[in-house]
């Protein structure tokens, strides 16, 4: 009886080993991983880097008289750009605040007027 069971096991073992080739499974998994990395790069990382580059370019080109919006949502006009990385922003007649350049974005009206493609 035991010999019959071992004989049956020996007959079915080679058939199941031949049914699934092991080499192709690893290769297709690698291709899928590379494809996912490429998708993440082109649809998420690259557009974000482009947007950051445009904002950095805007901040470097800021000058007196530009209308801007702060990160907190305050709209104002630049009165002075200082060398230490700050600007003086006039938010109302006679009301001026000092703010860091990194917290300033282009005003929505200026983006529409100039046709720039800076998205917030």
pLDDT in tens, 58-67: 888 889 999 9
pLDDT greater than 50 at residue 114: yes
Say how many Å lie between the first and final Cα of the chain, rounded: 77
Confidence of residue 107 (pLDDT cuts 50, 70, 90): confident
Average pLDDT over residues 20-42: 83
pTM (2 d.p.): 0.55
Residue 69, helix vs strand vs coil = strand
Q: Please report, for the chain, the start and end positions of each structural domain, with discontinuous segments joined by +.
A: 23-120
pLDDT greater than 60 at residue 102: yes
**Rg over CA atoms, the chain:** 31
pLDDT greater than 60 at residue 43: yes
| Residues β-bridged to residue 69 | 75, 105
Nearest Cα to Cα of residue 119 among 64, 62, 50, 70: 50
Cα distance between residue 64 and residue 79, in whole Å? 5
Residue 68, helix vs strand vs coil = strand
Cα distance between residue 9 and residue 116, in whole Å? 72
What's the topology of domain 23-120?
SH3 type barrels. (2.30.30)
The predicted structure's pLDDT at residue 120: 40
Q: What is the mean pLDDT of the chain?
A: 80
């Amino acid at each position: 009886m035991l010999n019959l069971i071992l004989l049956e096991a020996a007959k079915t073992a080679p058939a199941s080993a031949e049914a699934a080739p092991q080499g192709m499974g690893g290769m297709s998994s690698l291709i899928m991983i590379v494809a996912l990395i490429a998708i993440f790069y082109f649809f998420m990382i690259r557009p974000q880097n482009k947007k950051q580059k445009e904002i950095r370019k805007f901040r470097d080109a800021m000058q007196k008289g530009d209308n801007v919006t702060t990160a907190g949502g305050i709209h104002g006009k630049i009165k002075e750009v200082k060398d230490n990385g700050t600007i003086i922003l006039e938010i109302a007649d006679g009301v001026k605040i000092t703010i860091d350049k990194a917290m300033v974005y282009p005003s929505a009206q200026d983006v529409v007027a100039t046709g720039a493609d800076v998205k917030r």
